[in-house]
């Protein structure tokens, strides 16, 4: 007896955002990366198209970060040189994108000047040929000084710059408009704030196809279910014609997973939790796996092994 599969047909799709610019387009990247474009719920290939596979960005910082030693170990030979670190992520671990965090701009972590941050960007651009995501330190006041100069230094490269927030988006949006970059719109796991922020950015005349949503994901065991539901609602909104929720989604998995106690506590403290070297990696990989299936498009990871496992999961899900 034949079984009829009921197929849902949607009226719209997720918008596409192109990252990077080649020499022919005024940049120096060897290629561009396109994210989004889905016309179905995640990986339901029988209902619609998933034209662009999710991509992996590896995080690098312009100072030695206070990450778990397990996560830092693969980079111990380059972690003091951000350009060499980025190069290793691309050449050895196959990163699709580099996520450059200008952590040293924070007044409490070095107070690097806007000029120094711009020079850091130039070094990383010279070291790798993949498109770049560049974010500030997280100190809003300082980032409003740093990011416009960084945007100018990367003019023509079509960077993805972050982060814009509901109460601090105008300076970064203006810099993206002037220097033709894309923007990360960050909201605190709240679909209404996410939509409103996209409206505010678009009202400044930055096109919707240059906005990527950062819903502020939660790590495995720390709100992942709530984040998953928000991302699912965003995807359903995009598919049913809500243009202000139709942007691709970026998930800062490494940052969130790295803050979880389970990814940091040693076996001596919690013997029943098993080996930390394995646990720290799996906490990041399992968090990423959940958000791959929730409909994320860009995954920011730290450990090479979690990159490998996440890529394997994406490979399997992309099979029709």
Terminal-to-terminal C-alpha distance of the chain: 24
Does some domain include residue 11?
Answer: no
Domain range enclosing 35: 16-317
Q: pLDDT tens-digit profile of 231-260?
A: 999 999 999 999 999 999 999 999 999 999
CA dihedral 99, 18, 149, 170 (to 10 degrees): -100
Residue showing tokens 């034949």: 2
pLDDT computed for residue 254 by the predictor: 97
Number of structural domains found in the chain: 1
pLDDT computed for residue 178 by the predictor: 98
Q: What is the CATH number of the domain that holds 147?
A: 3.20.20.20
Q: Which residues of the chain have pLDDT under 50?
A: none
Does some domain include residue 5?
Answer: no
- Give pTM, 2 decimals: 0.97
Angle in degrees, CA 310, 314, 319, rounded to 5: 155
pLDDT computed for residue 118 by the predictor: 98
Question: How many helices (H) and strands (E) are present in the chain, helices listed first?
Answer: 10, 10
Residue 175 to residue 193: CA distance in whole angstroms: 22
Does some domain include residue 10?
Answer: no
* 170 neighbors 143 (Cβ within 8 angstroms): no
| Closest CA relative to residue 95, chosen from 314, 304, 315, 318 | 304
Does some domain include residue 9?
Answer: no
pLDDT computed for residue 3 by the predictor: 81
């Amino acid at each position: 007896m034949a079984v009829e599969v009921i197929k849902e047909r949607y009226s719209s799709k997720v918008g596409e955002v192109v990252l990077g610019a080649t020499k022919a387009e005024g940049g120096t990247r060897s290629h561009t990366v396109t994210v989004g474009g889905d016309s179905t719920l995640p990986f339901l290939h029988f209902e619609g198209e998933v034209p662009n596979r999710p991509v992996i960005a590896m995080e690098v910082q312009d100072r030695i970060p206070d990450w778990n030693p397990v996560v830092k170990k693969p980079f111990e030979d380059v972690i003091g040189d951000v350009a060499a670190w980025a190069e290793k992520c691309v050449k050895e671990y196959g990163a699709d994108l580099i996520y450059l965090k200008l952590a040293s701009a924070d007044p409490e972590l070095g107070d690097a000047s806007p000029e120094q941050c711009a020079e850091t960007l130039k070094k990383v651009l010279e070291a790798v040929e993949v498109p770049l995501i560049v974010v500030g330190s997280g100190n809003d006041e300082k980032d409003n000084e740093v990011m416009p100069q960084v945007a100018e230094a990367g003019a023509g490269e079509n960077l993805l710059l972050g982060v814009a927030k509901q109460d601090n988006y105008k300076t970064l949006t203006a810099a993206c408009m002037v220097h033709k970059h894309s923007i990360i719109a960050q909201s605190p796991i709240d679909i209404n704030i996410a939509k409103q922020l996209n409206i505010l950015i678009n009202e400044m005349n930055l096109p919707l196809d240059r906005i990527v949503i950062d819903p502020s994901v939660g790590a495995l065991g720390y709100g992942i279910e709530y984040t998953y539901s928000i991302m699912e609602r965003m995807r359903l909104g995009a598919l049913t014609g809500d243009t202000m929720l139709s942007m691709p989604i970026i998930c800062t998995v490494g940052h969130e997973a790295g803050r979880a106690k389970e990814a940091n506590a040693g076996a001596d403290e919690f013997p029943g939790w098993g080996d930390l070297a394995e646990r720290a990696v799996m906490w990041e990989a399992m968090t990423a796996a959940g958000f791959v299936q929730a409909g994320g498009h860009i995954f920011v990871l730290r450990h090479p092994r979690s990159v490998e496992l996440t890529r394997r999961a994406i490979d399997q899900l992309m099979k029709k």
